[in-house]
A and B are shown apart, each in its own frame.
Chain A
Amino acid sequence: MPRLIANRMFFSLFVLLAATLVIFFGISSISDPLGELRSEPNISPESLQRLIDRKHLEEPLVVQYGYWVKDMVTAQFGNDLKFDRPIWPELSRALVNTVQLVIFAELFAIVLAVIIGVMAGRFQYSVFDYGTTILSFIGYSIPIFWFALILQILAVNFYQTTGVRAVYISGLSSVDAPTGLMFYVDRIQHLILPILALSVTSIAAYSRYLRASMIEVINADYVRTARAKGLSEPKVVLRHALRNAAVPLATVVGVNLGTVFSGTIIIETIFSMPGMGLFFFNALSTRDVYSIMAWLMVTASLTMLFNLVTDIVYGLLDPRTRT
């Protein structure tokens, strides 16, 4: 097993190295880092030359790649081109905000999915089962940006009719963010809508998955044995059935995380959340090539990490899949 893990890690590093090549040469071949600045009549040739010198843009691409990798490794991606600001403080702050959003969204999705999946699996073909099945199919089919827009309208309509501000529709905190415990209440009020919008697909996927494995497990011999031993029904379901049904879910969650991260680009733009998604959106709209590349590298590394962990967990659980 340790050998398998070491093996996987080695190949992951190899894939990441390939990613740096694809990202750098891909982006460089389709973009001119100075494109926008060149067309700006307010920027003089000397200013441009300064920027060119700073990023060695007159050197061959291979040399530029070297500088880029060096900056990435030694200076946490270095500075961006236009603002000449270090990229990492911005990016890491955005990363923290996004991780916070994604963790909450996934926790919410898992808790809800477990409840739905267990109930639906335990009471197969009941009204609850049919209802949640239909809902989960809708969850799969709804465009999350459309859902987010509807959530915003509903929230504002609710505020206008009742005068109670239950949730906020943009940002991370109020203008005058309260301190102490109320700070967290305020934060949650800001996060609720993005969490709902981001978790809808996950809820649908996880609950379907859990329902299926619950049905499989609940008819398994050891669950029947547990029942026969006279254990109470909740105990049977929770201790024996759920435990075994939930283990494979871990791998599904791992694989799904990449998709959730992609979803943050749209969700954070709609809800004005200063996270990775909005960072990327802003970098793209100012054509800030170095920030875009840094973002791609961080996202790729994270996804790599999820996949690695998922594979290892899967390998630990199911020795047959060793390849």
Chain B
Amino acid sequence: MTCSTSAAARREGSMIRHRSRLWRFLSRFARHRVAVVSLVILLAIMMAALNAGGISPYNYDSMNLPAANLGPTMEGRHYFGTDKLGRDYFTRVFYGTRTTIFVAMTVALLSTLIGTIVGAAAGYFGGRIDNLLMRLTDLVIILPGLALLMILTTFLGEGTPMQVAILLSSLLWTLVARIVRAQFLSLRRREFVEAAILAGASPWRVIWRHILPNTLGPIIVNATLTISTAILIESALSFIGFGVKPPTPALGQLISQGRGSMQTQWWLVTFPGLMIVTICLTINFIGDGLRDALDARHARRS
């Protein structure tokens, strides 16, 4: 009885603490003007990409041979021109953005999840488990990721965006794991954690209620930056022909298909390239803003 009331009260208290912490965080983030502007731009791009069919009168895969190879023009609303089959390139770039962002977001979520679990387990339990998990991390780190992905697609064929995302996640979790482990190692010895353990809380509960909330900052910052890393790796893979299976457009793949035509159809390479730069730039600025706001000094960049 008393126990439950005190638990409820504690929960309420922690919620208030969280709310005020959130408020402090938001106001701090808002002070980072570049990050705010970046966030607005990124959201706009994402909205446009999600609604790619709505913002353009064209379909990403409808051919129109007489209108092939048009440069960017307001006429006919081909803002980014057309490709060799007369498909509207504006539509294709935004559909490509959608694929690329989907892959990158999935990678950020999945790799953070894996990395957090591995890092938390290693850091909390320590000893043999830590040693084993860290050697596993070492193994993944020393295997060249880009090359492994190329090998997999060579022998197994190109994948759907989801498959590519899973493959990338299985290689990109190591940094999060190391960050989380380091945090856990230092937090594990702090009084409030030791108090919780002495009070008989289960390991899961200690991890979930006491340590993890205090490591969220670096995890979030790193997850944000992983989006940018994933976009760059995914586009590099697509560029050398080992990424998302066509005809689903992805940004790197669009550059790859257009790269032989840079002299004649510059727009085929320029627009998807600029899109990648814009997205990654905004994400990096947002990550910077988050870091400042969370004061997560320990988060290292990859």
Contacts and interface: CB of A to CB of B under 8 A. Distances in A.
A205 B151 contact: no
Nearest to B241: A285
Given A149-B259, A153-B262, A19 B236 contact: no
B217 to A, nearest CB: 17
What's the dominant secondary structure at chain B's contact region? helix
Contacts of A143: 232, 235-236, 239, 252, 255, 273, 276-277
A83 interface: no
A304 interface: yes
Size band of the interface chain A makes with B: 35 or more
A205 B185 CA distance: 26
A94 interface: no
Contacts of A205: 301
B55 interface: no
Nearest to A306: B142
A274 B236 CA distance: 20
A15 B139 contact: yes
Contacts, number: 125
B30 to A, nearest CB: 20
A303 B281 CA distance: 29
Interface string A138-162: 1011111110010001000000000
B195 interface: no
B301 A296 contact: no
A262 B147 contact: yes
Contacts of B148: 296
Interface in A127-147: 137-138, 140-146
Nearest to B282: A141
A248 B18 CA distance: 35
A262 B145 contact: yes
Q: How large is the interface on B (under 10, 10 to 19, 20 to 34, 35 or more residues)?
A: 35 or more
Contact of A141 (B131, B145, B280): B280
Contacts of B135: 11, 14-15, 18
Given A15-B138, A18-B139, A149-B269, A141 B284 contact: yes
B141 A307 contact: yes
B147 A296 contact: yes
A292 B283 CA distance: 35
Interface in B226-252: 228, 232, 235-236, 239-240, 252
A19 B280 contact: no
Contacts of A199: none
Nearest to B138: A15
Contacts of A11: 131, 135, 138
A300 interface: yes
B93 to A, nearest CB: 14
B100 to A, nearest CB: 11
Nearest to A141: B280
B142 A15 contact: yes
Contacts of B239: 143, 145-146, 266
A253 to B, nearest CB: 13
B193 interface: no
Q: Which of A31, A149, A261 has the most CB of B within 10 A?
A: A149
B144 A262 contact: yes
Nearest to B266: A153
Interface string B81-96: 0000000000000000
B228 A22 contact: no
A143 to B, nearest CB: 5
A265 interface: yes
Nearest to A301: B142
A144 B236 contact: yes
A276 to B, nearest CB: 10
6 contacts: A22-B139, A142-B276, A144-B232, A146-B255, A149-B269, A303-B142
Sort A-B residue pairs by CB-CB distance and give the 5 closest, nearest first. A141-B280, A141-B281, A303-B142, A146-B273, A30-B155
Given A146-B255, A149-B262, 12 more contacts: A15-B142, A18-B135, A30-B151, A142-B276, A143-B232, A144-B232, A149-B269, A261-B144, A265-B240, A266-B239, A284-B151, A304-B142
Interface of A: 11-12, 14-16, 18-19, 22-23, 27, 30-31, 137-138, 140-146, 149, 153, 205, 208-209, 258-259, 261-262, 265-266, 269, 280-281, 284, 287, 292, 295-296, 299-301, 303-304, 307, 323
